[in-house]
């Protein structure tokens, strides 16, 4: 029994000594080489994510710029349309509306004059000849009514012409001027928005590209250092083996 206990004690001591002489990796620790290898892998993952983010940023930038350019093109079309409408009204529309109002006035005046002449003729005719009283009153009443309506229409036409000359045309011209101004302001705002977006996208892409470059450089340095460390370790191991083989 005594020799058995002695043997177990010696074996246990030898095992403990062997464990104490092992590297940290053999006992569950992490060596410097493993730590650097993990660092390199982490940098590779970050680099891949940075590349994807840069691709996404470029895609989004393209879409946003396309949208802003379409808005600018639309604003320019609206401005051109407003300008054309204003010029058309100044060159043609104003004169046409005045001519229409004057024509309406002349037509009303002509109808009123015709109605007055017709009434005067009927009154003269019925005065000289003997007609049935009812027929005479009916014809004269209708004629007087037509004359009254013609005179009212003439008055409205005169007021319409004055309104057109003094207010309607000026109001429409101001409305067209305001429309043109708003359209031109829309173009200006769209141009500023597009320029601002271009600068923002340029800054964002430059930052993303810079980050990608920095990660690439870090990865290259880490890889180079890892290779150098492995080479130094191999050289050291070779020297040790050479020293051990010498007599």
| pLDDT one-digit tens code per residue, 194-240 | 888 888 888 888 888 888 888 888 878 877 777 777 776 776 776 67
CA distance 205 to 190: 22
- For the record, the structure tokens of 179 come out as 């429309």
Residue 2 has pLDDT above 50, yes or no: no
Model pTM above 0.75? no
| Residue 149: count of CB within 10 angstroms of its CB | 13
Question: What does the pLDDT read at residue 109?
Answer: 83
If pLDDT is split at 50, 70 and 90, which confidence band does 172 have? confident
CA distance 122 to 116: 10
Average pLDDT over residues 24-37: 50
40 or 221, which is more confident? Answer: 221
Our CA angle for 94, 163, 81, nearest 5°, is: 30
If pLDDT is split at 50, 70 and 90, which confidence band does 48 have? confident
Our CA angle for 139, 144, 145, nearest 5°, is: 100
CA distance 231 to 87: 82
Find all residues with CB under 8 Å of 208, minimum gap 6, and list them: 50, 53, 54, 57
Closest alpha carbon to 194 in 77, 68, 67: 68
| Residue 246 DSSP class | -
- For the record, the structure tokens of 99 come out as 């001519």
- For the record, the structure tokens of 153 come out as 């229409």
């Amino acid at each position: 029994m005594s020799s058995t206990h002695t043997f177990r004690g010696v074996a246990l001591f030898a095992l403990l000594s062997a464990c104490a002489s092992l590297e940290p990796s053999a006992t569950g620790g992490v060596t410097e080489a493993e730590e650097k290898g993990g660092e390199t892998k982490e940098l590779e993952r970050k680099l891949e994510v940075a590349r994807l983010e840069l691709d996404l940023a470029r895609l989004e930038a393209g879409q946003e710029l396309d949208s802003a350019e379409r808005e600018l093109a639309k604003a320019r079309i609206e401005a051109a349309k407003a300008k054309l409408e204003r010029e058309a009204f100044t060159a043609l529309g104003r004169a046409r509306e005045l001519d229409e109002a004057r024509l309406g006035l002349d037509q009303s005046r002509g109808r009123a004059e015709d109605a007055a002449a017709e009434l005067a003729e009927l009154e003269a005719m019925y005065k000289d000849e003997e007609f049935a009283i009812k027929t005479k009153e009916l014809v004269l009443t209708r004629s007087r009514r037509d004359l009254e309506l013609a005179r009212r229409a003439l008055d409205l036409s005169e007021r319409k012409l004055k309104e057109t000359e003094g207010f309607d045309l000026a109001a429409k011209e101001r409305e067209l001027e305001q429309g043109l101004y708003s359209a031109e302001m829309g173009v200006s705002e769209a141009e500023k928005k597009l320029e601002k977006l271009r600068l923002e996208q340029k800054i964002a892409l430059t930052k993303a590209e810079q980050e990608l470059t920095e990660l690439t450089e870090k990865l290259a340095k880490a890889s180079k250092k890892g290779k150098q460390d492995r080479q130094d370790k191999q050289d050291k191991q070779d020297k040790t083996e050479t020293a051990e083989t010498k007599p």
